[in-house]
Amino acid sequence: MSDAREPRTVLHVRIVSGTGGGPEKTILNSPRHLAGTGYRGLAAYLHPPGDPGFEVIAARAAEKQCPLVALPEAWPIDPRVLWKLARLCRRERVAIWHGHDYKSNLYGVLLRPFLGFRLVTTVHGWVKHTSRTPLYYAIDRWTLPRHRAVIAVSRDLEERCLAAGVPRERLHLVHNAIDTEEFKRRAPHPAGGRLRLGAVGRLSEEKGFLLLVEAVERLVAKGFDVELAIAGEGDQEAALAARVAASPCRERLRLLGFQRDTVALFEGFDVFCLSSLREGLPNVVLEAMAMEVPVVATRSGGMEHFARHGEDAWLVDPGSTDELERGLEALCGDAALRARLARTARARIEREVSFTARMRAVTAIYDSLA
């Protein structure tokens, strides 16, 4: 363990737009869990100028006691931001640069020769495909092998990092984790009445929400008394809203937008559904499991390796309305199965993926770089 009398500074760096996503749950929670480890943490976030969503991230950072430096970036590569990051590293005596995406990885590689910090990155996943995705992949292929330590949050991402040229000895599998005291059910499960199905995530193509809406419509047509609520925001919001408005059971379909209080949100769900086409190991599934909400999830990326079908989750193949329908039908029609999955999932989260255990693994990686 490092000498706690002279804590070394870890700078988490990330580019973000809007209210962020799953990585924020890891980054903003990390600094307070470093107390007493010999490290101190802070975060630097690059974001579009004037982005109102960043105010939400700043508020969450304050709640989590995470020192946060905001760096508005007007251009794709802004030399002024590089200069500000360099000045920040010198002022805070940054010993470890911990990147979380392609740009923070690139900036870390560019600045390291001048500042001498150790390079660490966490690979959270490559899921959203745009016209720029090949460029982002190319940047990561160039930068990842230049890092002293690469943390993959799921087994499939570990394999992709190896394929990108990351040396085996520098690669570490550390799953996403949950603060089991924050995500702990305090309200009883809803008793009787209509079953409430829930989904949470960025409203974009890779999340498969259009397939999920159709699957729920089919359940209603079969006579199941269910409703679906989807929480999140994103570029597919208008398309989803139009789809819901045209649905024959639109009164059972709700788009909730961004939800700040996710604990209360999960407490209102009878079943959680991950309909994604592509994923790493999504925090929202771990949160649902911790909140004792039974999970139906696609075998997308990290889920296939992490979840145990029929024990702590119900897995279906991705990209198929039929598969989602069958999975949801299995849980909606069997209260005993729902209760068993929920109970087993909570126990596994406590045992294997608590945030405290995750940070012990991460600080051990930091120690190995000294």
The domain limits of the chain are 8-177+354-368, 195-352
Distance CA 119, CA 149 (A): 7
Tens of pLDDT, residues 166-182: 999 999 999 999 999 89
CATH architecture classification, 8-177+354-368: 3-Layer(aba) Sandwich (3.40)
DSSP string, 27-53: HTTHHHHTTTTTEEEEEEEEE-TT-TH
Place of tokens 């989904």: 199
Give the model's confidence band at 26: pLDDT under 50 very low, under 70 low, under 90 confident, else very high.
Answer: very high
Same fold, 8-177+354-368 and 195-352: yes
Return the pLDDT at 301.
78
* Token pair in block for residue 160: 């992709």
Residue 249 has pLDDT above 80, yes or no: yes
Share of the chain above pLDDT 90, in %: 84
Tens of pLDDT, residues 190-203: 677 899 999 999 99
Tens of pLDDT, residues 107-124: 999 999 999 999 999 999
Longest dimension (CA), the chain: 66
Residue 126 has pLDDT above 80, yes or no: no
Tell me the helix, strand and coil percentages in the chain, rounded to 5: 45, 20, 35
* Token pair in block for residue 157: 């991402």
Q: For 195-352, give the CATH class.
A: alpha beta
Return the pLDDT at 5.
67
Residue 143 has pLDDT above 90, yes or no: yes
* Token pair in block for residue 14: 């990330």
* Token pair in block for residue 295: 């999970």
Share of the chain above pLDDT 70, in %: 97
pTM of the model: 0.86
Distance CA 274, CA 337 (A): 18
Return the pLDDT at 200.
96
